[in-house]
């Protein structure tokens, strides 16, 4: 680690530690998982680049954990947001913009027959869970280990050692009775789901699914897995909730469900749909969504929900993404970069797995194919930390965790990718020793 580069970040971190808990406003931003110390403080961003408080430039593959698919400060986005701000940022009353964005979302993801906007992915999932309970009159929730669904109580629970163990919270402060309602299962494992449904099928309100997992690194569903999840859940009388907070508009103009030929009961959105501003959404079949207030008895509200600033950003982002060639271009760039990274890793004798889906990929330092959370955990933490630090010193910015993805944006140029590959080559070569 080249400490001379990061004086200002170090100073800001010391100030931050004194006033912001842990120095960061989201734990994912801390460098705890890559050896600790000051995270890089960002001063500005443009296109594919970030500049830190010391003036160092980085090619950005964090993409703010997914939303920044258009690159930073895209001129059309800046114009749309500025225009919207000049018309007032909050009315507390409905707008045509919300109707337009809801129509766009439904057009792109037809299973979302009725939509409600909220402020974040966390809120979307939290409310989808409430809706599933209102619809079924049941309370138990199933989910998959290693998937992240935001920080509501119910989402922060995983099972102990298998489906026969009751849920154990990953966080202090989650009541035991909430944890006891959650069954956490291995992803890509139909047998484990069947076993769990044999035991709890009559009590289960819904299963939460990231259709392509982004939160243990990128992990694809095995062929037929999602079909079985839906079939078995419906047989048991429960609902299927797709958490497409990362995946929607990342791999195609629509959800991963469009690509995978799935039609969940409820879908949750966040990240890209807000064009980089705070916005989430949930939606599903009309008769289900009719259970939400003011039509139905399941309550959900929000002072800032569907505010004109976020909705204007979302509309403009979808406008840009809808242009022909967008996703083909993203995919081609990701394939080029991922293949180069893999080639470099192999050249220097590193045992790795590379999982790529569309414009996101994860390099795992392990000899074991990664198909679920157990196999993802075989990825070496120390070697990832060395890669992360080495790339940071060479002006390449990744997420500070071995369980995250490299995300491409439309702003990355071929030159950016080649620079990244050269930096990766140097670091992976240094790591041999
Ligand atoms: C799949 C998934 N669901 C939900 C969330 C929570 O979204 P937010 O951070 O907007 O609350 C995230 C955040 O990373 C996510 O990746």
Predicted confidence (pLDDT) per residue in 61-96, tens digit? 999 999 999 999 999 999 999 999 999 999 999 999
Give 3-state DSSP helix, strand, coil % of the chain, rounded to 5.
45, 15, 40
Q: How far is CA 329 from the centre of its chain?
A: 21
253 is catalytic: no
Whether ligand 1 lies within 6 angstroms of the CB of 49 is answered as no
Q: In what order do the strands lie in the sheet with 280-284?
A: 114-118, 280-284, 266-269, 239-243, 204-209, 140-144, 182-185
| Closest alpha carbon to 229 in 213, 215, 216, 218 | 213
Q: For ligand 1, what atom is nearest to the CA of residue 26?
A: 9
Would you state the structure tokens that stand for residue 5, as one six-digit string? 């580069």
Look up residue 357 and give its two tokens: 């889906």
172-203 residue pLDDT tens: 899 988 999 999 999 999 999 999 999 999 99
- DSSP for 216-237, written as a single string: TB-BPPPTTHHHHHHHHHHHHT
Write down the pLDDT at residue 2.
65
CB-CB contact of 290 with 113 (8 Å): no
Q: What tokens appear for 433 in the block?
A: 């020793």
pLDDT of the residue at 433: 62
Identify which of 124, 271, 405 to mutate to test ligand 1's pocket (most ligand atoms within 8 A of the CB).
271
Say what the pLDDT of residue 166 is.
54
Confirm whether pTM is higher than 0.85: yes
Angle (CA) 329 335 341, round 5°? 135
Q: Is the CB of 211 under 6 A from ligand 1?
A: no
| Ligand 1 closest atom vs CA 125 | 4
Question: Can you give the length of the chain in residues?
Answer: 433
Distances (CA, A) of 117 to 97, 205, 253, 278, 282: 12, 22, 19, 10, 7
Structure tokens at 398: 């990744």
| Residue recorded with tokens 């109580």 | 153
Question: How many A from CA of 128 to the centre of ligand 1?
Answer: 13
190 neighbors 235 (Cβ within 8 angstroms)? no
- Which of 68, 146, 148 is the best mutation target for the ligand 1 pocket, counting ligand atoms within 8 Å of the beta carbon and taking the most? 148
What is the 57 CA–ligand 1 centroid distance (Å)?
27
Question: Distance (Å, rounded) from C-alpha 397 to C-alpha 391?
Answer: 7
Pocket lining: 215 vs ligand 1, CB cutoff 6 Å: yes
HSE-CB at 252 with a 13 A cutoff on CA atoms is 12
Q: Is 127 left (phi over 0), alpha (psi -120 to 50) or beta?
A: alpha
Q: What is the full per-residue pLDDT of the chain (433 aa) written as tens digits? A: 666 899 999 999 999 999 999 999 999 999 999 999 999 999 999 999 999 999 999 999 999 999 999 999 999 999 999 999 999 999 999 999 999 999 999 999 999 999 999 999 999 999 999 999 999 999 999 999 999 999 999 898 874 444 444 567 788 899 988 999 999 999 999 999 999 999 999 999 999 999 999 999 999 999 999 999 999 999 999 999 999 999 999 999 999 999 999 999 999 999 999 999 999 999 999 999 999 999 999 999 999 999 999 999 999 999 999 999 999 999 999 999 999 999 999 999 999 999 999 999 999 999 999 999 999 999 999 999 999 999 999 999 999 999 999 999 999 999 999 999 999 999 999 998 6
67 CA distance to ligand 1 middle (Å): 10
Pocket lining: 241 vs ligand 1, CB cutoff 6 Å: no
Q: Is the Cβ atom of 288 under 6 angstroms away from ligand 1?
A: no
Residue of the nearest CA to atom 16 in ligand 1? Answer: 246
Candidate from 147, 270, 401 with most ligand 1 atoms within 8 A of CB, to mutate = 270
pLDDT given at position 432: 86
DSSP, res 205: E
Residue owning tokens 């593959």:
61
- Domains present along the chain, CATH in parentheses: 3-73+324-430 (3.90.1150.10), 75-321 (3.40.640.10)
Beta-ladder partners of 407? 360
In this prediction, residue 171 carries a pLDDT of 87
- In the reported structure, the alpha carbon of residue 419 is separated from the centroid of ligand 1 by a whole-number distance in angstroms of 30
Spatial separation of the C-alpha atoms in residues 294 and 292, rounded to whole Å: 6
CA 9 to chain centroid, in Å, comes to 26
Judge whether 148 counts as a catalytic residue: yes
Q: In angstroms, what is the span from residue 350 Cα to ligand 1's centroid?
A: 31
Residue by residue, DSSP assigns 127-144 as HHHHHHHHHHS--EEEEE
CB distance 124 to 245 below 8 Å: yes
Q: Beta 140-144 vs 204-209: how paired, if at all?
A: parallel
- 243 carries an active-site annotation: yes
Cβ of 119 below 6 Å from ligand 1:
no
Query: Quick check: 221 and 211 in contact, CB under 8 A?
Result: yes
Tell which residue, 279, 229, 266, has the closest CA to residue 127. Answer: 266
Residue among 143, 158, 271, 316 flagged as catalytic = 271
Q: Which tokens in the block code for residue 228?
A: 């079985």
- Pairing verdict, β 114-118 and 280-284: antiparallel
Contact at 8 Å (CB) between 335 and 328? no
H helices of 261-372, where? 286-289, 308-321, 326-347
Within 13 A of 164's CA, how many CA atoms are on the CB side?
0
d(CA 149, ligand 1 centre) in Å: 6
The residue whose CA is least distant from atom 13 of ligand 1 is: 150
Ligand 1 atom with the shortest distance to the CA of 121:
7
The DSSP secondary-structure symbol of 119 reads: S
Ligand 1 neighbour 33 (Cβ under 6 A) = no
Q: Best of 25, 66, 245 to mutate for ligand 1, by most ligand atoms within 8 A of CB?
A: 245
């Amino acid at each position: 680690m080249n400490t001379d580069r990061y004086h200002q970040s170090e100073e800001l971190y010391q100030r931050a530690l004194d006033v912001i808990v842990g120095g960061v406003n989201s734990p994912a931003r801390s460098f705890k998982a890559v050896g600790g110390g000051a995270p890089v403080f960002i001063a500005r961003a443009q296109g594919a680049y970030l500049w830190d408080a010391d003036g160092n430039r980085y090619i950005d593959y964090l993409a703010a954990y997914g939303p920044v698919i258009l690159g930073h400060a895209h001129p059309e986005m800046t114009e749309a947001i500025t225009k919207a701000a000049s018309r007032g940022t909050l009315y507390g009353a409905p707008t045509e913009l919300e109707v337009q964005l809801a129509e766009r979302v439904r057009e792109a993801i037809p299973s979302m027959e009725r939509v409600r906007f909220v402020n974040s992915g966390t809120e979307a999932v939290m409310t989808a869970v409430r809706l599933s309970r209102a619809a079924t009159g049941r309370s138990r929730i199933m989910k998959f280990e290693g998937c992240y669904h935001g920080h509501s109580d119910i989402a922060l629970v995983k099972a102990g050692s298998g489906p026969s163990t009751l849920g154990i919270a990953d966080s202090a402060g989650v009541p035991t009775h909430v944890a006891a309602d959650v069954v956490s299962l291995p992803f890509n494992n139909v047998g484990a789901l069947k076993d769990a449904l044999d035991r709890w099928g009559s009590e289960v309100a819904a299963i939460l699914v990231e259709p392509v997992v982004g939160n243990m690194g990128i992990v694809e569903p095995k062929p037929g897995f999602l079909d079985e999840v839906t079939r078995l859940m419906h047989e048991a009388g429960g609902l299927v909730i797709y958490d497409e907070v990362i995946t929607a508009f990342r791999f195609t103009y629509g959800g991963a469900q469009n690509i995978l030929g799935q039609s969940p009961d409820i879908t949750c959105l966040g990240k890209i749909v807000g064009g980089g501003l705070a916005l989430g959404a949930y939606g599903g079949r009309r008769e289900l969504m009719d259970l939400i207030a003011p039509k139905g008895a399941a309550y959900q509200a929000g002072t800032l929900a569907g505010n004109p600033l976020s909705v204007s950003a979302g509309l403009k982002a979808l406008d840009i993404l809808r242009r022909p060639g967008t996703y083909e271009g993203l995919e081609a760039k990701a394939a080029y970069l991922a293949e180069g990274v893999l080639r470099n890793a192999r050249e220097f004798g590193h045992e790795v797995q590379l999982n790529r889906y569309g414009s996101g990929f994860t390099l795992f330092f392990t000899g074991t194919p990664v198909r679920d959370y157990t196999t993802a955990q075989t990825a070496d933490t120390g070697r990832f930390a060395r890669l992360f630090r080495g790339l940071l010193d060479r002006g390449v910015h990744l997420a500070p965790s071995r369980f995250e993805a490299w995300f491409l944006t439309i702003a990355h140029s071929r030159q950016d990718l080649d620079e990244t590959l050269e930096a990766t080559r140097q670091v992976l070569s240094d790591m041999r020793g």
